Structure 1
Amino acid sequence: MEQSSLVLYGEEELNWNKETLPALKSDQVLIKTIAGAISIGSELSQYMESDIAVDSSHYPKETGYESYGEVVEIGSKVSMLNIGDRVVAFYGHKDYEIVKENEAIVVPKDIHYSEGLLTILSCDAAKGVLKLNPKETDKVLIAGMGTMGLLTVYFLKEYMKVHHIDVLEPNTSRGDFAKKLGANNVFNDIAQCPNDYYRYGLECSAYNEAFKTLQKSLQKNAKVCILSDGNKDRFELQPEFYEKELTIVGSSDGWDYRKHSKWFFEKVKQNGSQLSAIFEMKIKKQELIPCFKDLSQGKINPLKVLIEYEGEE
């Protein structure tokens, strides 16, 4: 079986690499990719070498991490997956991949692949929220309504049942999306955010000005979680951090992708397909390289890009 994978060989140097996949081991499955996604916050910064927190000197690099596909072959000791199952896995921009059985998450066939893919980042957002563990009556402020910010609003509202969620987002359409997901107030400018008001804050914007605003907006002894990836600025602690004795926590990856997906897919079935609108752009696999170029040049600015591979309806 020949695999095509999108590889980054240097700053803004993407190429498709072809290689022959090895034979399956007993605990592995072969997945044929149906759909994938560009997680713009983290992937574009890697492509442009603009993430100040990442060492960009080592190439080549694999790209992407959100993949949805069909199991087309299974190893002799695989017991939880069957040929024909639809799954989400973490291998990125490839048309085929071999993964261990326990690294694939089954997606019900009545869940569209656009929603199936979102379970990964939803679980990442959930982990940060769970670290803060707000009560229903706590007031929460989220900075940045990219994909992570929107999924954070969704989890706070649908799982944690938090009543009061405000967001800081200058983009009107993204702010409107947050309102549809349950946000109470949308602040388009940092000057609109009240001081000393919130018990918890979540940083999803990757900008220091937003992080600065969160520190000013939090109450004494409050907590803020940094969820943003592909950081554009270096974050700085403000006088309020010390004066209010704030706590800052970091969060990376998900808390438990398999357990979270069970909740997430059931909630998606109940609520319909409102989250799929996060994918503001749809492309084919062959359009990935020019899409990255257009993203880097600012010609397009979608929340998230859905990639459809050959042979899918």
Structure 2
Amino acid sequence: MNQHSLVLHAKQELKWTQKEIPPLKRDEVLVKTIAGAISIGAELPQYLETDITERQPQYPKETGYENYGEIVEVGPGVEVLKAGDKVVASYGHKDYGVIQEHRAIPVPKDIHYSDALLTILSCDAAKGVLKLNPGKEDKVLVTGMGTMGLLTVYFLKEYMDVHHIDVVEPNPTRRELAKQLGVNDLFTDTSVCPRDFYHFGLECSGKKDAFHCLQSSLVQEAGLCILSDGNKDIFDLQPEFYEKELKIIGSSDGWDYRKHAEWYFENVRRRGSLLNRLFELRIGKEELIQCFMDLGDGRVNPLKVLVEY
């Protein structure tokens, strides 16, 4: 059996490559991809060579990291998963993936793949929120209502039960999505945010102006978490950081993907699908290369792209 992978060979040069899938190791499972996603904030800078965290890109480079699929074969040492199970995993834009059993997140049969795919980034957002650990009565400001920002708002409301959440987002469509998730005030620009008002802030935009805004908007000794990838602007500390003795933390990856998924899937069942509207564009896998071209040229600008196999 062959595996087809979308590989970046140079700046804006994507090609499908093919290789034979080797026999499974004891703890591995073979997953047939049903759906995937393009995480634009992370993948587009790599495609365009604009990622400031990667000054000298190395090629060839595999692409993507969000997958939903069905297990079609298991290794002899696999203990829990079996053929026919649906899972979320992270192996990129491929029609088949080989992963270790412990890296596959089981998905209940009644959860649609458009919801299931978001559990990975939802867990990444949750980790940053949990590090700050705001209380129900604390005031929280979130900058940037891209995928990470909206998932952050979702976790703040649905898991932490924070009552007062404000957001900064210039895009009216994204502000509307944030409103549907239950935020309080929606600011179109950082210049109108109140100063010395919030107990916690989360930066999800990747923009230095938003990072500056958070430092001025937080109260004394407040906490700030950077959840954006940091691949757009260089962040710098403002006088308020020292004057207010602010605490800044970073957050990468999720806290526990399987445990988070248990809560997330149950919340989807209980509250309905609030998040699959993030997929503003749906394509087939044969359209992936053209989609990256369109994204790179600015012809399309969705929050997130759902890829069906």
User: Aligned letter for 1:61?
Assistant: K
1:274 counterpart SS class: coil
Which ranges of structure 1 fall in alignment gaps of 5 or more residues? Answer: none
The share of aligned pairs that are identical, in percent, is 65
2:31 counterpart SS class: strand
Would you say 1:226 and 2:226 are equivalent positions? yes
Q: Hey, what does 1:16 align to over in structure 2? A: 16
Matches within 5 A, 1:158-169: 158-169=158-169
1:182 counterpart SS class: coil
Structure 1 contact 36–117 (Cα < 8 Å) conserved: yes
Shift of 1:230: 5.3
Shift of 1:177: 0.5
With normalisation by structure 2, the TM-score equals: 0.99
Distance in 2 separating the partners of 1:3 and 1:291: 21
Q: Hey, what does 1:208 align to over in structure 2? A: 208
Change (3 A) 1:45 1:230: farther
With normalisation by structure 1, the TM-score equals: 0.98
Structure 1 contact 45–230 (Cα < 8 Å) conserved: no
Change (3 A) 1:292 1:56: farther
1:165 counterpart SS class: strand
Q: Hey, what does 1:183 align to over in structure 2? A: 183
4+ aligned runs moved over 3 Å, structure 1: none
Q: Which moved more, 1:299-308 or 1:229-238?
A: 229-238
Shift of 1:55: 3.6
Q: Hey, what does 2:82 align to over in structure 1? A: 82
- CA-atom RMSD in angstroms: 0.8
Distance in 2 separating the partners of 1:188 and 1:218: 18
Q: Hey, what does 1:3 align to over in structure 2? A: 3
Distance in 1 separating the partners of 2:155 and 2:301: 24
Would you say 1:154 and 2:154 are equivalent positions? yes
User: Deviations 1:96-119 (Å, cap 9, x if unpaired)?
Assistant: 011111110000111000100000
Which ranges of structure 2 fall in alignment gaps of 5 or more residues? Answer: none
User: Aligned letter for 1:117?
Assistant: L
Matches within 5 A, 1:198-277: 198-229=198-229, 231-277=231-277
Distance in 2 separating the partners of 1:68 and 1:175: 28
Q: Hey, what does 2:292 align to over in structure 1? A: 292
2:118 counterpart SS class: helix
User: Aligned letter for 1:146?
Assistant: G
2:140 counterpart SS class: strand
Distance in 2 separating the partners of 1:61 and 1:137: 45
Distance in 1 separating the partners of 2:7 and 2:286: 14
Structure 1 contact 43–230 (Cα < 8 Å) conserved: no
User: Deviations 1:175-233 (Å, cap 9, x if unpaired)?
Assistant: 11101111111000112100000010000000000111011100010111000015211
User: Deviations 1:222-255 (Å, cap 9, x if unpaired)?
Assistant: 1110000152111111111111111110000000
Distance in 2 separating the partners of 1:303 and 1:271: 22
Distance in 2 separating the partners of 1:177 and 1:147: 10
1:166 counterpart SS class: strand
1:53 counterpart SS class: coil
User: Deviations 1:137-160 (Å, cap 9, x if unpaired)?
Assistant: 100000000000000000000000
Would you say 1:111 and 2:121 are equivalent positions? no
